[in-house]
Amino acid sequence: MDALTGIIREVFEDDSLVARDNLTAADVEKWDSLSHIDLIVTIERTFRIKITTREVTSLKNIGEVADLIQKKLGGPAERQLMADRS
C-alpha cells in the first residue's frame, strides 16, 4: 500500500496519513467530494487504469480501492506493483 499512501498524502496534503484497509473518508479531515475526485483521478493516472462511476460509488474504504486496483491490473501481483510504483 506504499503507492496508495503516497497518493493519499499528496491529495490530502497530510504526511501523517497511512493507507490501511479500513481507512475511510470519515478518518481524513480534508476528504470531501472534490478531494475524492482528485483521489480517484490520481489513482487512475498513477496506475494507468480507469475506474467507472459505478465502481467509485461502491468503494467503502481504501482496502476496497486496493482490491479494485488489483483486479484492474490483473491479479495478486498488484500489491507488489503498488509498492514498486511508489
| 32-57: pLDDT as tens digits | 999 999 999 999 999 999 999 999 99
Question: What global pTM score does this model have?
Answer: 0.84
Q: What is the pLDDT at residue 27?
A: 97
Closest Cα to residue 7, out of 48, 31, 40?
40
If one counts every other C-beta atom within 10 angstroms of the C-beta of residue 85, the result is 14
| pLDDT tens sequence across 2-25 | 999 999 999 999 999 999 999 999
**Confidence label for 83 from pLDDT (cuts 50, 70 and 90):** low
Phi/psi class of residue 33: alpha, beta or left (left: φ > 0; alpha: ψ in -120 to 50)? Answer: alpha
> What's phi and psi for 13, nearest 5 deg?
50, 50
Structural domains for the chain: 2-84 (1.10.1200.10)
Q: Is the pLDDT of residue 80 over 60?
A: no
pLDDT at 79 over 80: no
Of the pLDDT bands very low, low, confident and very high (cuts 50, 70, 90), residue 86 is very low
Other CB atoms within a 10 A radius of the CB of residue 68 amount to 20
Spatial CB neighbours of 37, under 8 Å, sequence gap ≥ 6? none
